[in-house]
Structure 1
Amino acid sequence: MHVPDGFINAPVSVAAGVVAAAAVAVSLRGARRELDERTAPLAGLVAAFIFAVQMLNFPVAAGTSGHLLGGALAAILVGPYTGVLCVSVVLLMQGILFADGGLTALGVNITVMGGVTVVVAYAVFRGLLKVLPATRRSVTVAAFSGALLSVPAAAAAFTVLYALGGTTDVPIAKVFTAMVGVHVLIGIGEALITAATVGAVLAVRPDLVHAASGLSTPLKLRVDGELVDAPAPVPAAPVAARSARSTRGVWLTGLATALVLAGVVSFYASANPDGLEKVAADKGIDAKVEDHAAADSPLADYGVKDVEDARLSGGLAGVIGVGVTVLVGTGIFWSVRRRRAEDLTATSTAAPSAH
């Protein structure tokens, strides 16, 4: 759903940019409360994983494909504020390096694909956890539902922006029906990917799933045909004392998976236009689309310039994209984490002693 330049006029694009900038600013502040020494590098990995999976377009209808938006996945794994930042980093890398999503439409894309998806998915997720049993299965079900609804919500948000500043005269009702209709189907794929990923992390390291941190249901063991609470494990050391090595295996496994998906599996992705591209072509929304400012980038259209072999070109572009995204993302999240530590230090030293 990467909106290119020319779909939305300048005033609405600027307004969306202001909204996106405000969302990023709020998220930078909120992420300080979500990130710690273990989760800061994992947040960069989540951004890289979203970048990789977004290269895997899957067919959803005749002549149409879809791909992960990632807001739900990021919000559930690393928190809603950090989730907005993850998607924003991905969109920034895609726009600058790969000419995917217009640069003047960056605010539109962050608002729609980052802000709306995270808010809707996390609200649905949290709402369901309040009424479902406090189990890992409930987390997976809630993740599926939040992701499923976040995609058509993003499509509806795009339609609102198009109604306010669309550059072509197309009946809004037709745009809404087409956009939401196809993105409901794409939402199913989003939900499956999100639930599978969250479930996999829950299975090996539930402590690294931000949205599952409040679960306190004890592990059940079957004894003589009955389920009983398992004894609570005695922690070897306080959480604060755990070294970064405790997440090294998860980080390396996640990075390897992202590299394989972007560098190898992406070659087999559907070549059909995604939901927005298909609707734009069918309804005439793309009549005034503009050439991307980074169209001459060496990595434009997810291929390495002057590399003739399509498989090698796309694979190298994917690997480079994952590498750059994880580096940029990790750098940003470490900076946010370090700023929090500095704030806490300043607060503790400035607070007067109570007598």
Structure 2
Amino acid sequence: MALAMHMSDGLVSPQTALVFGVIAAIGLAIAASRARSDLDDRTAPMAGLVTAFVFAVQMINFPILPGASGHLLGGAIVAILVGPWVGSICIAIVLVVQALLFADGGLTALGTSIVNMAFLGVFTAYGVALVLRRFARRSRAGLLVTAFVAALLNVVVASLGFVLQYAVGGAGEVGLGTVFALMVGLHTLIGVGEGVITAATIGAVAATRPDLVYLLRGSRPPVEVRGRRTEGAPS
């Protein structure tokens, strides 16, 4: 079994793939409807940029253990920069393009990957960021810690979604306990790397244009960035 978040064809039963495909389609329809209220002259260009960025970095694998590698999922980056609804669409676009053009993940299993990364991962990251938002608005350090924690948990929860899908309709020969240990264990390590990359990315954007960070909009009091006080943009 490949140790990758992009689920391959045949790893779950056709019925399971179909069910999660329908869930993904419904989720994307809801996200598209809700995203309209978040798209403005700041969010729309940023959505394009983060989609291209996530696509690029997902193509780069880094070694975790011998025979196993991982890549950035991007859930926390999109959630913090453009919000969960727009962010989920961004990740879904990346997954569709990768599956169609690069055979990264199976077409029949595309719905499972979208559910895991575009919904479970993105909304977990945003939920964590919301809980820590007051802390994130206080200082640059608080924002970086928030981004790191959100990214780490985004990866772990997405990997648990993979395990759940395998438990529901796994068609592989590997036992559920082994799948759980490998997926969650390895993706916890991947999550640490993702946390560092996410914190660096969010920090770079906030250092120059804090008004482009969805999580910081409407900040009260002002966010401290590199020693100057910058008012958060209104919601």
SS in 1 for 2:10: coil
Answer whether contact 1:135 1:217 (CA < 8 A) is retained.
no
Residue correspondence of structure 1 range 1-355 to structure 2 within 5 A: 1-130=5-134, 134-218=138-222
Answer whether contact 1:135 1:215 (CA < 8 A) is retained.
no
Quote the sequence identity (%).
Answer: 49
TM-score, normalised to structure 2, is 0.90
Mapped partners of 1:62, 1:214: distance in 2: 46
Q: Which amino acid aligns with 2:78?
A: A
> Whose radius of gyration is greater, 1 or 2?
1
- Superposed CA deviations along residues 151-204 of structure 1, whole A, max 9, x for unmatched, are 111111101100111112432122111110011000011111111100000001
TM-score, normalised to structure 1, is 0.61
SS in 2 for 1:59: strand
CA separation of 1:60 and 1:37: change in aligned 2, threshold 3 A: same
Superposition deviation, residue 88 in structure 1: 0.4
Answer whether contact 2:140 2:224 (CA < 8 A) is retained.
no
- Superposed CA deviations along residues 122-161 of structure 1, whole A, max 9, x for unmatched, are 1111112245663332222111101001111111110110
Q: Which amino acid aligns with 1:65?
A: S
- Superposed CA deviations along residues 333-354 of structure 1, whole A, max 9, x for unmatched, are xxxxxxxxxxxxxxxxxxxxxx
SS in 2 for 1:104: coil
- Superposed CA deviations along residues 209-253 of structure 1, whole A, max 9, x for unmatched, are 1111132223669xxxxx9x96x88xxxx99xxxxxxxxxxxxxx
Q: Which structure 1 segments of 5+ residues have no match?
A: 222-226, 240-355
SS in 2 for 1:35: coil
Q: Which structure 2 segments of 5+ residues have no match?
A: none
Superposition deviation, residue 113 in structure 1: 1.3
Mapped partners of 1:187, 1:43: distance in 2: 22
Q: Which amino acid aligns with 1:179?
A: M
Superposition deviation, residue 7 in structure 1: 0.5
SS in 2 for 1:26: helix
CA separation of 1:68 and 1:132: change in aligned 2, threshold 3 A: closer
Mapped partners of 1:205, 1:157: distance in 2: 34
Answer whether contact 1:17 1:107 (CA < 8 A) is retained.
yes
Mapped partners of 1:171, 1:17: distance in 2: 24
RMSD: 2.2
Answer whether contact 1:19 1:111 (CA < 8 A) is retained.
yes
Mapped partners of 1:220, 1:23: distance in 2: 36
Mapped partners of 1:217, 1:53: distance in 2: 34
Answer whether contact 1:20 1:110 (CA < 8 A) is retained.
yes
Mapped partners of 2:175, 2:150: distance in 1: 29
CA separation of 1:168 and 1:37: change in aligned 2, threshold 3 A: same
Answer whether contact 2:137 2:216 (CA < 8 A) is retained.
no
Q: Which amino acid aligns with 1:22?
A: I
SS in 1 for 2:132: helix
Greater relative contact order (CA < 8 Å, ≥ 6 in sequence)? 1
Answer whether contact 1:139 1:212 (CA < 8 A) is retained.
no
Mapped partners of 1:34, 1:137: distance in 2: 26
Q: Which amino acid aligns with 1:163?
A: A
Mapped partners of 1:96, 1:171: distance in 2: 29
Q: Which amino acid aligns with 1:116?
A: L
